[in-house]
Structure 1
C-alpha cells in the first residue's frame, strides 16, 4: 500500500483493506456488522428468519421459498434489479437467503451478507471532515458497504441526540419502514463509538449511493448502500441522509414521528455543494414499503 499514513482501518476484520489516509486515526471501535446496543430488544446477530431448502448452487424463483415469499432483488452477478427504487415513492426492503438456507454461500441471493468487496479509502475533506472515496469504478446497482453500528432503542437514540452539542457529529440514522396503514417499524443505528466504514460517508443532496434495508439472518435490517449510478475511481461516495426515496421531505411523511424525534434538535448547515442543496442537513431516513 502506498501513500502517507496508509493503514487498514478495519484491522483485518473486512475481507479487503479499508484504507485510511491521515496522521490521526478517529477514535472509535471498528466492527463490520451491527451490534446490540441499549434499548435494542433483538440481537442483530441472532438468526430469526426461516431458510429455504434449495440444494442448487444458486437459488431460482421457481423453487426457492425465500424468493417466492419476498421476490427476487438481485441479478445473477448480485446487482440490484431495480435501481430506480432510489427515486421512487416506495422502497421495498430486500430479503436475502440466510444461515438456515441450504443453498451455497455463492448463491446470487447472498450479497450484503458477504460484506465489503470494494477498495474504499477514508480521507480528510476540505470542509466536511472525513469522507469516503472509492479506489475503483463501481457499476450502478452494486452493493458498496453497510452503515453498521450500535442498534439502539428510541429512548436511547433520543437521549444521545439531545446530548449532542452543535460541534458534535450526528451519526444516528433513524429508519422508518411503513408496511400498510399504521404499521411502522423503526430502527436506530448509531456508529459513533462502534461502527464500520459507512460512518464516514458524507451527506449529499445529489448522492451517488442510496440506502435499502436488507434482512439476512435477523429481523433487524442491515442498512445497505448501493450505487445509484456508475461511479468512477477516486470519486467521493455520498448518500442522502433523508433517504432519497421520495420527493417529499422527511418532515412531510410522518408528522407524529417528526414531533417526537426532531423536537429540540438543531439541524446543521449542509456543505454538499450540490446545485439542489437544501442548505440544512436532514434529520432522519424514511422507507415507504
Structure 2
C-alpha cells in the first residue's frame, strides 16, 4: 500500500490500515481478534488480470465491482465487495485490486471556511479533479468491540471530546453485523473528512483478506479541484427522536438541503 500522508497533530499516530483495539480478555474481544486475523480462503485462479466472467472474487461481489478502476454504483447492491486477496495469483495491476493500493493523490488537510455559526475545524480537500467512482481513502482506525465503543462514546460525551467512532451495520439474512472503527488516536487521513447532508462521497465496506471490512470512501460524483471531501455520517433513524438535547449536535455542512442536525444513532 502506498500512503504518503501524515497527521498535522503530533499527538496522533498515523496508521495505513485498521489495527485491533486494546487487548481484553472478553469473549467479545476474542471474536473480534479472530475475525481481524482471519484469512478469506475464497480466491481466484486468474492469470495476471481478472475478468468479470471468470474471477470468483468478482462474482462474489455480484458480478461487477470496478470498471477501469472506478466503483460501479448499484442502488440495489446486495453483495459485499471482495477484492482479490493475497491468495490470488493475479497481478497487483489486476482491476479488482483498488482499495488495497492506498489513497488517491492530491488530498490536503486544511481548515474549513467559517460559517455564520462556527467553524467545522479541519477538513480534507482535493487539489485535483476526481471523477465519480474513484477510491479516495480508507476510514482507518482501531477496530473495537461494541462494549469498548459504548465506553468511549460515553467518555467522549462526558469530557466533551470529538467522537470519531464509526459504526457500520451490515444486514444479511435477517442478521446485523456491526463493525466499530475509532480513529481518534490511531488513524489515517480519512479521520479528517467531515459530514455533509449532500456529500460527494460515500462509504462502501470492502474486504480484501480479513473478514473485517475496510471502510472505503469512494467519490459518488465528479469532484472539482479545491472542493472539500465529504460523506454522510449516517442516515436518519428512529433513534433521532430519542436523542437528548446534549446528544443532538447542530450540522454545519452548509448544504442547501441540510437537515440542521448531525446524524444520531445509538449502538
TM-score w.r.t. length of structure 2: 0.85
1:135 aligns with 2:119: no
Question: Equivalent residue for 1:111?
Answer: 98
1:42 alignment partner, SS class: helix
Q: Where does the alignment leave 5 or more consecutive residues of structure 1 unmatched?
A: 1-13, 244-248
Q: Residues 119 and 66 of structure 1: is their aligned pair in 2 closer, same or farther, counting only changes over 3 Å? A: same
Give secondary structure in 1 for the equivalent of 2:151: helix
C-alpha spacing 1:133/1:141, structure 2 compared with 1 (3 Å): same
Partner of 2:262: 281
CA contact (8 A) 1:78 1:111 kept: yes
- 1:173–1:284 contact (8 Å) kept in structure 2: no
Q: How many residues align?
A: 253
Within 5 Å, which residues of 2 pair with 1:91-240? 92-125=79-112, 126=114, 127-165=119-157, 167-181=160-174, 183-240=175-232
Deviation, 1:131, is: 0.3
Within 2, Cα distance between the matches of 1:64 and 1:90?
19
Moved more, 96-105 or 44-53: 44-53
Alpha-carbon shift at residue 70 of structure 1 (Å): 2.8
Deviation for aligned residue 1:32: 1.3
Gap change, CA 1:89 and 1:273, over 3 Å in 2: farther
1:173 CA displacement: 0.4
Counterpart Cα distance in 1 of 2:35 and 2:123: 27
**Per-residue CA shift, 1:162-204, capped at 9, x if unaligned?**
11137321100001000122x1100000000100000000000
Q: Describe the superposition over 1:121-164 as per-residue Cα deviations: whole angstroms up to 9, x where unpaired.
A: 01112300110001111000000000000000000000000111
Q: Which whole-Å CA distance do the structure 2 matches of 1:155 and 1:161 have between them?
A: 10
Instruction: Supply the distance in 1 between the matched residues of 2:122 and 2:84 (Cα, whole angstroms).
Output: 34
**3-state DSSP class of the match of 1:156?**
helix
Aligned with 2:32: secondary structure?
coil
Match of 2:72 in 1: 81
Q: How does 1:2-13 map to 2 (within 5 A)?
A: none
- Report the Cα offset of residue 53 of structure 1: 4.1
Shift of 1:89: 6.6
- Per the alignment, do residues 283 and 93 of structure 1 end up closer, same or farther by CA in structure 2, a change over 3 Å counting? farther
Structure 1 residues 265 and 95: alpha-carbon distance in aligned structure 2, compared to 1, 3 A threshold: farther
Q: Cα RMSD between the aligned structures?
A: 2.7
- Is the Cα–Cα contact under 8 Å of residues 270 and 278 in structure 1 kept in the other structure? yes
Q: 1:60 to 1:45 in 2, by over 3 A?
A: same
Gaps in structure 2 of 5+ consecutive residues: 23-28
Name the SS of the counterpart of 1:159 in structure 2.
helix
1:174 and 1:284 in contact (8 A); partners too: no
1:176–1:285 contact (8 Å) kept in structure 2? no
Report what 1:251 is aligned to.
238
Contact 1:59 1:103 in 2 (8 A): yes
Give, in whole Å, the separation in 2 of the partners of 1:79 and 1:142: 5
Q: Distance in 1 between matches of 2:55 and 2:76?
A: 29
